[in-house]
């Protein structure tokens, strides 16, 4: 993570708590859970909420937890960044009340979720939009231009040196070193990996012949590490190394690639990631309050950065206890509120949800209920 974020989190949390008073849940509050406004006006939730999942959202989760705890002194949110796959498993087996996942539940997982989450199962609520950086450690170089085929060849081990002609052709005027390329991938079941390989499979199909998946192809050689912080540390410590990671974690000596979209190269940014999310379409066949998004990885639209992740909080539509439902609703209401989205943006360089998507997210949170 960037060092500057740690000093800012406390201030962000304080501002966010004040802003909670301006944000409220919708009117359909089946369990009577307090809105975000109510939590600062005397009606407060209590208890411990357990989440497991994506490590990419670590900085945002730190800001969300701090602000929510300040507004609700009797409430605690525990979050273990064990990876998106671990998070989805935890919500399905009931060991967590919510999951953080950079990939939405599959149809099979949705069907399985009915065991613990009631007849309507679980829903995917987008809470965090962020670009995935192709981050590298090349001495004296912080910016490169790459297209999808070249990125795919780098991570498949087909390009083994940074002064390869394919890279040089895209970077006229850049003195590329005679330095070995060391690809570094996630060792755990990762939503970031799912999104990155989804981009490669769609945008470079002649090179990336594997299907998109949360687990890195076992046939490919290279270094690996657990979690976003793990791959970033490995690359930081290894000249010539390259990885894919949430942009909020990229700092120091690491450079990032511009990605070719159409005839232009797009720099990584939250705004460019937000444009990619806006072009996404609802996943077909999902319930009204399931907000899974199918991203267009092959867009040629100007200013769009297609190597992007939408991270979801996966929650049950029905919880066994009213207290749990109330706590989930109160926390998620804050997360998708203006205050919560701005806290994440300030802490993790993420793109706030659009107004239209935010309204849908609020309605989805309001639909959560407890068993009668």
- What value, to the nearest 5°, has the Cα angle with vertex 130 and ends 33 and 202? 120
Each residue's pLDDT tens digit, 118-133: 999 999 999 999 999 9
In the numeric block, the tokens 């907000």 are attached to 291
| 100 has a pLDDT exceeding 90 | yes
User: Above pLDDT 70, what percent of the chain?
Assistant: 88
Q: What is the pLDDT of residue 183?
A: 98
Q: What is the pLDDT of residue 262?
A: 96
| 26 has a pLDDT exceeding 90 | no
Q: What is the pLDDT of residue 184?
A: 98
Q: Which residue from 155, 196, 160, 156 is spatially nearest to 176, judged by alpha carbons?
A: 160
Q: What is the pLDDT of residue 76?
A: 95
Q: Which residue from 44, 102, 42 is spatially nearest to 68, judged by alpha carbons?
A: 44
What Cα–Cα distance (Å) separates residue 129 from each residue in 271, 311, 340, 358?
10, 6, 13, 12
Instruction: Quickly state the pLDDT bin for 293 (edges 50, 70, 90).
Output: very high
More confident residue, 143 or 28: 143
| 54 has a pLDDT exceeding 50 | yes
Q: What is the mean pLDDT of residues 166-170?
A: 98
Instruction: Quickly state the pLDDT bin for 87 (edges 50, 70, 90).
Output: very high
| 153 has a pLDDT exceeding 70 | yes
| 98 has a pLDDT exceeding 50 | yes
Each residue's pLDDT tens digit, 321-369: 999 999 999 999 999 999 999 999 999 989 999 999 999 999 999 999 9
Each residue's pLDDT tens digit, 60-71: 999 999 999 999
Instruction: Quickly state the pLDDT bin for 232 (edges 50, 70, 90).
Output: very high
> Distance between alpha carbon 314 and the CA centroid of its chain, in Å?
12
- Round the average pLDDT of the chain to a whole number and report it: 90
CA distance 177 to 175: 6
- Residue pair 137/240 in contact by the 8 Å Cβ criterion: yes
Backbone angles phi, psi at 182, to 5 degrees: -120, 100
Q: What is the mean pLDDT of residues 134-159?
A: 98
Q: Which residues, including other chains, have CB under 8 Å from residue 55's CB and lie 6 or more apart? A: 81, 82, 83, 190, 227, 228, 229
- Residue pair 264/292 in contact by the 8 Å Cβ criterion: no
Q: What is the pLDDT of residue 266?
A: 98
Instruction: Quickly state the pLDDT bin for 157 (edges 50, 70, 90).
Output: very high
User: Above pLDDT 90, what percent of the chain?
Assistant: 87
Instruction: Quickly state the pLDDT bin for 248 (edges 50, 70, 90).
Output: very high
Q: What is the mean pLDDT of residues 237-249?
A: 97
Q: What is the pLDDT of residue 44?
A: 80
Q: What is the pLDDT of residue 21?
A: 36
| 23 has a pLDDT exceeding 70 | no
In the numeric block, the tokens 């966010």 are attached to 16
Each residue's pLDDT tens digit, 108-121: 999 999 999 999 99
Q: What is the pLDDT of residue 372?
A: 73
Left if phi > 0, otherwise alpha if psi is -120 to 50, otherwise beta: which for 252? left
Q: What is the pLDDT of residue 9?
A: 41
């Amino acid at each position: 993570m960037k060092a500057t974020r740690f000093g800012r989190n406390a201030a962000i949390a304080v501002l966010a708590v004040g802003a909670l008073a301006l944000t409220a849940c919708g009117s359909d509050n089946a369990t009577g859970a307090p809105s975000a406004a109510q939590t600062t006006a005397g009606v407060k939730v209590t208890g411990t909420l357990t989440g497991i999942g994506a490590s990419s959202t670590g900085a945002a989760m730190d800001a969300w937890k701090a602000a929510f705890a300040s507004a609700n002194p009797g409430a605690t949110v525990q979050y273990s960044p064990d990876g998106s796959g671990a998070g989805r498993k935890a919500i399905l087996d009931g060991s967590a009340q919510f999951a953080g996942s950079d990939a939405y539940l599959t149809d099979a997982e949705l069907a399985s979720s009915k065991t613990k989450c009631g007849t309507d199962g679980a829903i995917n609520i987008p809470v965090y939009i962020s670009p995935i950086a192709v981050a590298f450690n090349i001495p004296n170089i912080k910016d490169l231009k790459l297209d999808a085929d070249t990125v795919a060849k780098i991570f498949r081990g087909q390009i083994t040196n940074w002064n390869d002609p394919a890279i040089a052709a895209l970077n006229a005027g850049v003195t590329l070193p005679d330095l070995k390329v060391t690809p570094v991938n996630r060792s755990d079941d990762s939503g970031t990996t799912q999104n990155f390989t989804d981009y490669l499979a769609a945008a470079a199909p002649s090179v990336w012949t594997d299907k998109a998946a949360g687990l890195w192809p076992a046939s490919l050689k290279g270094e690996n590490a657990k979690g976003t912080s793990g791959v970033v540390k490995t690359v930081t410590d290894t000249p010539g190394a390259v990885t894919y990671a949430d942009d909020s974690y990229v700092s120091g000596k690491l450079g990032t690639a511009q990605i070719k979209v159409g005839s232009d190269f797009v720099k990584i940014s939250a705004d460019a990631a937000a444009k990619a999310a806006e072009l996404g379409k609802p996943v077909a066949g999902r319930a009204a309050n399931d907000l899974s998004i199918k991203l267009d990885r092959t867009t040629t639209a100007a200013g769009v950065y297609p190597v992007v992740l939408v991270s979801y909080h996966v929650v049950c539509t029905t919880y066994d206890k009213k207290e749990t439902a109330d706590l989930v609703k109160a926390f998620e209401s804050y997360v998708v509120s203006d205050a919560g989205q701005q806290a994440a943006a300030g802490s993790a360089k993420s793109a706030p949800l659009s107004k239209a998507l935010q309204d849908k997210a609020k309605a989805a949170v309001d639909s959560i209920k407890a068993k009668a």
